[in-house]
């Protein structure tokens, strides 16, 4: 039986899970002995590049989420019990039941990276919201500490979930990286040098403002939308692009390893974080892509939602859209951000903000969490 300081469990593929990767790397750099348990797929050979130990769980890749969740839970319980650990981190709701059942004497930390009972996908699904909430509360009885990604999430969960446990805020910040200016996107898709390239990176779902952006593209000349990430609405995006006769302006690329994403992002002009106000999880969102665009040195076009507003207002790293469904406003803000003098001013602000908005700025918080 091996002993680890921390066992981190995540119901995801580690190579493109920025939050789990950044936390694992930071804990390793702080001298902690780490085991990461994550999902297995064809890309998992990339895990050989990590310094910390890892175990891969193979589950059925198709079928209902509930069935995959149950399969994952059954398989992680004996695996966790094979080892001793001072701490177990359940990196999402789906890791929580298995981690709670098998924790023994470990300190259990629950990373509530989303407000799971208020996800956009559960909007108007009252029964599903109730069931998720009950599952979360049931296994919280085994939890010792909770991690959230922002102050507003903490406030919300203290009132809706529990105020009996200590909360730690670990934001979805990227590790510090230098800006790597390059022309990857334009060269890959044979675009003019004076074209405007918008980038959306991350999981592609409904509610991420992509349909309004597609409509705006029909009003903008020489402007392209580059989408990179696991795409759950690909057919819908293609159909919408065809209906507006802009299919040639929509550039789709599968997800890449998180470690390889930064230089690709650096080759775009404007980053998109247009969350639609669907469900409290989106309304309070403070997404990692917001900060990754900043680290890549490109202005952000984001929804005027309360948490996002605070970052844009405090650091001046982009522009806000008051109505994510207003196509004219979106078009105007894109042109505003692409204006030379406006862009130069925003990039100056980005350069000032990069250190403060890097994951390294949170090391002391993490050190205190895992003491």
334-371 tens-digit pLDDT: 999 999 999 999 999 999 999 999 999 999 999 999 98
The verdict on 278 and 294 lying in the same domain is: yes
| The pLDDT of residue 125 is above 70 | no
On whether residue 36 sits in a domain, the answer given is yes
On whether residue 179 sits in a domain, the answer given is no
pLDDT confidence of residue 351: 96
The verdict on 227 and 335 lying in the same domain is: yes
The verdict on 335 and 363 lying in the same domain is: no
On whether residue 117 sits in a domain, the answer given is yes
pLDDT confidence of residue 83: 94
The verdict on 116 and 219 lying in the same domain is: no
Edge to edge, what strands does the sheet with 318-321 contain?
250-253, 223-228, 196-201, 270-273, 300-303, 318-321
pTM, two decimals, is 0.90
The verdict on 167 and 189 lying in the same domain is: no
On whether residue 97 sits in a domain, the answer given is yes
pLDDT confidence of residue 229: 92
On whether residue 13 sits in a domain, the answer given is yes
pLDDT confidence of residue 50: 85
pLDDT, tens digit, 9 for 90 and up, residues 77-122: 999 999 999 999 999 999 999 999 999 889 999 999 887 655 555 5
The verdict on 119 and 260 lying in the same domain is: no
pLDDT confidence of residue 104: 86
pLDDT, tens digit, 9 for 90 and up, residues 213-250: 999 999 999 999 999 998 889 999 999 999 999 999 99
Under a CB-based contact definition with an 8 Å cutoff, are residues 133 and 117 in contact? Answer: yes
Considering its fold, how many domains does the chain have in total? 2
The verdict on 25 and 169 lying in the same domain is: yes
pLDDT confidence of residue 212: 95
Compute the mean pLDDT over every residue in the chain, rounded to the nearest whole number: 91
| The pLDDT of residue 258 is above 80 | yes
In this prediction, residues 70-74 reach a mean pLDDT of: 95
The verdict on 133 and 245 lying in the same domain is: no
| The pLDDT of residue 123 is above 60 | no
The verdict on 165 and 188 lying in the same domain is: no
pLDDT, tens digit, 9 for 90 and up, residues 272-301: 999 988 766 677 778 899 999 999 999 999
On whether residue 335 sits in a domain, the answer given is yes
pLDDT confidence of residue 156: 87
In whole angstroms, give the CA distance from residue 64 to residue 228.
25
pLDDT, tens digit, 9 for 90 and up, residues 164-212: 999 999 999 999 999 999 999 999 999 999 999 999 999 898 889 999 9
The verdict on 55 and 73 lying in the same domain is: yes
Domain with 260 in it: what CATH number? 3.40.50.2000
In whole angstroms, give the CA distance from residue 51 to residue 264.
24
On whether residue 17 sits in a domain, the answer given is yes
pLDDT confidence of residue 34: 96
Tokens found for residue 203: 């999981």
Tokens found for residue 105: 């004497």
The verdict on 146 and 247 lying in the same domain is: no
Q: Which of 62-66, 69-73, 170-174 has the lowest mean pLDDT?
A: 62-66
The verdict on 188 and 320 lying in the same domain is: yes
Under a CB-based contact definition with an 8 Å cutoff, are residues 252 and 234 in contact? Answer: yes
The full 3-state SS of the chain, as one line of letters, equals: CCEEEEEEECCCCHHHCHHHHHHHHHHHHCCCCEEEEEECCCCHHHHHHCCCEEEEECCCCCCCHHHHHHHHHHHHHHHHHCCEEEEEEECCHHHHHHHHHCCCCCEEEEECCCCHHHCHHHCCCHHHHHHHHHHHHHHHCCCCEEEECCHHHHHHHHHHCCCCCCEEECCCCCCCCCCCCCCHHHHHHCCCCCCEEEEEECCECCCCCHHHHHHHHCCCCCEEEEEECCECCHHHHHHHHHHCCCHHHEEEECCCCHHHHHHHHHCCCEEEECCCCCCHHHHCCCCHHHHHHHHCCCCEEEECCHHHHHHHHHHCCEEEECCCCCHHHHHHHHHHHHCHHHHHHHHHHHHHHCCCCCHHHHHHHHHHHCC
Domain of residue 156: give its range.
3-174+359-369
């Amino acid at each position: 039986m091996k002993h680890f300081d921390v066992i981190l469990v995540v119901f995801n593929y580690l190579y493109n899970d920025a939050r789990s990767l950044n936390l694992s790397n930071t804990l390793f750099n702080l001298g902690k002995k780490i085991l990461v348990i994550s999902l297995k797929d064809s890309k998992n050979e990339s895990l050989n590049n990590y310094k910390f130990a890892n175990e891969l769980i193979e589950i059925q890749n198709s079928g209902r989420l509930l069935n995959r969740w149950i399969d994952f839970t059954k398989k992680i319980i004996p695996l966790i019990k094979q080892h001793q650990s001072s701490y177990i981190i359940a990196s999402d709701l789906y890791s929580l039941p298995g981690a709670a059942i098998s924790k023994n004497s470990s300190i259990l930390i629950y990373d509530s990276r989303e407000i799971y009972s208020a996800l956009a996908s559960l909007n108007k699904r009252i029964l599903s919201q109730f069931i998720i909430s009950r599952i979360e509360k049931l296994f919280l009885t085994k939890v010792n500490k909770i991690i959230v990604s922002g102050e507003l999430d903490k406030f919300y969960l203290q009132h809706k979930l529990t105020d009996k446990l200590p909360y730690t805020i670990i934001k979805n910040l990227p590790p510090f990286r230098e800006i790597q200016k390059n022309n990857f996107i334009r060269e890959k898709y044979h675009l003019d040098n004076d074209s405007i390239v918008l980038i959306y990176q991350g999981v592609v779902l409904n509610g991420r403002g992509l349909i309004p952006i597609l409509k705006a593209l029909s009003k903008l000349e020489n402007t392209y939308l580059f989408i990179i990430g696991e795409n759950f609405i690909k057919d819908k995006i293609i159909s919408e692009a065809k209906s507006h006769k802009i299919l040639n302006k929509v550039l789709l690329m599968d997800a890449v390893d998180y470690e390889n994403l930064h230089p690709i992002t650096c080759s775009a002009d404007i980053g998109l974080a247009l969350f639609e106000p669907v469900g409290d999880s989106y309304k309070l969102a403070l997404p990692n892509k917001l900060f990754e665009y900043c680290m890549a040195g490109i202005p952000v076009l984001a929804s005027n939602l309360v948490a996002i507003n605070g970052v844009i207002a405090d650091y001046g790293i982009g522009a806000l859209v008051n109505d994510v469904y207003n196509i004219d406003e979106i078009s105007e803000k894109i042109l505003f951000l692409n204006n030379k003098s406006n862009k130069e001013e925003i990039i100056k602000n980005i350069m000032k903000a990069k250190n403060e908005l890097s994951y390294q700025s949170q090391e002391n918080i993490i050190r205190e969490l895992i003491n």
